[in-house]
């Protein structure tokens, strides 16, 4: 599966209970954009080997 999208990557700390996790995600203006990464691993706990090619659009 190959998809080309434009949006933003973010890096933030999420806290669940007493544990903190580094959360890398993506977001965009399109509401369905939030599901972009989830389509590769649709089930909770699922793990899949992937290859990402990322190009920054700003300087």
| pLDDT tens-digit map of 1-59 | 677 777 888 888 999 999 999 888 777 776 666 677 777 888 888 888 888 777 887 76
Phi, psi of 32 (to 5 degrees): -75, -10
Question: Cα 22 from chain centroid?
Answer: 12
Please state the pTM of the whole predicted model: 0.46
Give the CA dihedral 47, 50, 53, 58, nearest 10 degrees.
Answer: -10
What is the pLDDT, as a whole number, of residue 28? 77
What is the pLDDT, as a whole number, of residue 41? 82
């Amino acid at each position: 599966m190959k998809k080309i999208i434009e949006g933003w990557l973010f890096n933030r700390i999420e806290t669940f209970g007493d544990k903190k996790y580094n959360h890398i995600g993506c977001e965009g203006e399109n509401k369905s954009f939030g599901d972009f990464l989830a389509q590769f691993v649709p089930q909770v706990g699922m793990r899949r080997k992937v290859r990402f090619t990322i190009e920054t659009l700003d300087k």
